Structure 1
Amino acid sequence: MNHRTWLAAFCVAASACVPAAAGAQDKYPSQPIRILVGFPPGSSTDVGTRLIAGKLAAELGQSVVVENRPGASSDIAARAAASAPADGYTLFVVTIANAINSSSRNPDLVDVVKSFAPVGLVGNVPNVLVAHPSRNLKSVDDLIRAAKARPGGITFASSGNGTSPHLAGELFASKAGVQLLHVPYRGSSPAMADLLGGQVAIMFAPASTALPHIQSGKLVALAAASKDRIAALPDLKTLSELGLKDFDTSVWFGLAAPAGTPDAVRRRLSAAIQSALDTPDLRAQFRAQGIEPFKAGPEETARYIRAEVDKWAEVMQAAGVKLE
């Protein structure tokens, strides 16, 4: 075969392959999709994922299966998802926990920026800064005055070292110019139990968890630790409104695909997410669980995740926090 004949044959073969690959993407999805969640059943992230999975199944015309792979602050699930084929049939629920893991620069943890191609944000759970009534802290100003009067004397609970409630406390201390004493627990339940018992002074807690205790008077709400005010507590000002600029520690989550997933597939998934989040029934179901819908396409989601990684890296470095 001479050079000209070979070149012609190659071009014919190549042109045949391109439509085949494009056709496979056009037909997406042609089989069930699985979503890996790094938290246990019943968690806010799990519940929110299952709610939107049902809508995605209807939008895409394929079953969408949610699999829980809890452990290591969502790193176990991240590792499994990152190693899956980049074909859009395995998705990962990326969260603030994964951004924090990536912020640590720990090579043993999955780098969410390098390992995944964002699809879209889905929702966030706003946090609220709460105090035990026995501490006589009625406002953020009270808290800052007390902390300045007794450096390291005000305790704050968290669900563990390097978790978002821990870093929220460190971010508050940095922005307010105070020293707080971190008390880590093995999970949010024992942390909340000791806060309710008065063993610790304050905590950054999910609004959905704290709300019943605020309403019963067992906890005092000092401020919303989110970008916007909390729908269930409309009169509660945000920390940004109270002078701590750009303070937002909401527990966000979204969907991502393994790096290398075709853009056309991600756009198809993103459009389905956007459509699902526009439905009144899903929005109502989200808010009943304390989740605020959080819409963003692939590019905006990528920028948001990078900004979160940078933010928490700065907080961790300033506070000397290291993840094991």
Structure 2
Amino acid sequence: MFRREVLTLAALATLSGAAFAQAYPSRPVKLQVPFAPGGTTDIIARVMSEPLGKELGQSVVVENKAGGGGVVGATEFARAAPDGYMLAMATVSTTAANPAINPKISYNPLTDFIAITNIAATPNVIAVHPSFPAKDYKGFVAELKKNPGKYSYASSGTGAIGHLQTELFKSLAGVFMTHIPYRGAGPALNDTVAGQVPIIFDNLPSALPFINTGKLVPIVVAAPQRLSALPNVPTFKDVGLEPVNRMAYYGLLAPKGTPADIVNKVHGAAMKALADPAVRKRIEDTGSLIVANTPAQFTEQIKAELGVYKQVVEKQKLKLD
């Protein structure tokens, strides 16, 4: 008798969970961006929000929660209710670079989040203000070596991918620049374009409009091969620094404990949204590459990237400022 009651309760729980997932979403869904508006994470999120909401049948509202190179937002998201009504953008900064360098982070990117899909991968670029004395890679490095400590660089935050990649570049190239962290790529770009900081290491989608209008000068890119948008700009592999040649990713996360049916529903909606040629074009026009992988594949990608940056931090003896 007891066994029959247990089985009945289990069946009811399964049915209620399935019914909940079928009803989801019954109200708007928030999509958290852990950076200020204007950066690549924000751009990709806003491109995806409308088509994702269309496929889910409810509005998807982008919410910016900046600070700590993405840590403030990611920490808050790790405590979100696992009901599918709060999703978040996953970045290398929040799931790999920052956790690798910051021992005080209270979340574990491998256990506190559920990976849904990597939407897109993007190249990164070192760019300078037009007033900088050099306009190409050789001259850039020569200028830094001639004037150690004279120049500073902007990033989207301490522990963010731009910070760790620049520190790795500094170590391998034998140069020195002072790090100026911001609350996101948007503010960092604004100050670099204004000439308040001469150098930035940023994701291509947010930097490219300024490069195209001559407000920033590209020096070197982190990409598998030279980019059609910047055919004359070398990759880090071209200049002999292949370890720095890593791309960023922008994906979707759910809090741990989110029912699998909801995760699958969001994944399916994202795949349909990314199958739309208009949506793909908007993302690809930023210089990004569509990935659209499975939850399992994205989980492995996050795990691998975290391992890489842990090795970088250990090898280069990097610490928070």
Considering the TM-score relative to the shorter chain, is it more than 0.5? yes
Aligned match of 2:83: 87
Bigger Cα displacement from structure 2, 151-160 vs 116-125:
151-160
Letter of the aligned partner of 1:47 in structure 2? Answer: I
Q: Structure 1 residue 242: deviation in Å?
A: 3.6
Q: Structure 1 residue 170: deviation in Å?
A: 1.4
Q: What secondary structure does 2:76 align onto? A: helix
- 1:167-200 Cα offsets, whole Å, 9 max, x none, are 2211223444x23223425455776577668787
Preserved CA contact (<8 Å) 1:119 1:254? yes
State the identity %: 31
TM-score by length of structure 2 reads: 0.82
Preserved CA contact (<8 Å) 2:48 2:279? yes
Preserved CA contact (<8 Å) 2:154 2:200? yes
Q: Where do residues 110-189 of structure 1 align in structure 2 (5 Å cutoff)? A: 110-131=107-128, 137=134, 139-144=136-141, 150=146, 152=148, 155-159=151-155, 160-176=157-173, 178-186=174-182
**Unmatched segments (≥5 aa) in structure 2:** none
Q: Structure 1 residue 143: deviation in Å?
A: 4.5
Q: Where do residues 1-324 of structure 1 align in structure 2 (5 Å cutoff)? A: 5-99=1-95, 100-131=97-128, 137=134, 139-144=136-141, 150=146, 152=148, 155-159=151-155, 160-176=157-173, 178-186=174-182, 202-211=199-208, 214-215=211-212, 219-323=216-320
Separation in 1 of the partners of 2:226 and 2:94? 25
TM-score by length of structure 1 reads: 0.81
Relative to structure 1, the CA distance from residue 298 to residue 190 in structure 2 (aligned partners, 3 Å threshold; closer, same or farther) is: closer
How large is the Cα RMSD of the aligned pairs? 3.2
Separation in 1 of the partners of 2:160 and 2:16? 45
The number of aligned residues is 318
Separation in 2 of the partners of 1:116 and 1:131? 36
Bigger Cα displacement from structure 2, 14-23 vs 190-199:
190-199
Bigger Cα Rg: 1
Separation in 2 of the partners of 1:42 and 1:213? 12
Relative to structure 1, the CA distance from residue 264 to residue 69 in structure 2 (aligned partners, 3 Å threshold; closer, same or farther) is: same
Separation in 1 of the partners of 2:192 and 2:78? 37
Relative to structure 1, the CA distance from residue 315 to residue 91 in structure 2 (aligned partners, 3 Å threshold; closer, same or farther) is: same
Q: Structure 1 residue 134: deviation in Å?
A: 6.5
- 1:118-177 Cα offsets, whole Å, 9 max, x none, are 111123443222345666645434545666x6594674512354333222211223444x
Separation in 2 of the partners of 1:303 and 1:52? 23
Separation in 2 of the partners of 1:194 and 1:15? 58
**Unmatched segments (≥5 aa) in structure 1:** none
Separation in 2 of the partners of 1:194 and 1:69? 20
Separation in 2 of the partners of 1:216 and 1:36? 30
Letter of the aligned partner of 2:87 in structure 1? Answer: L
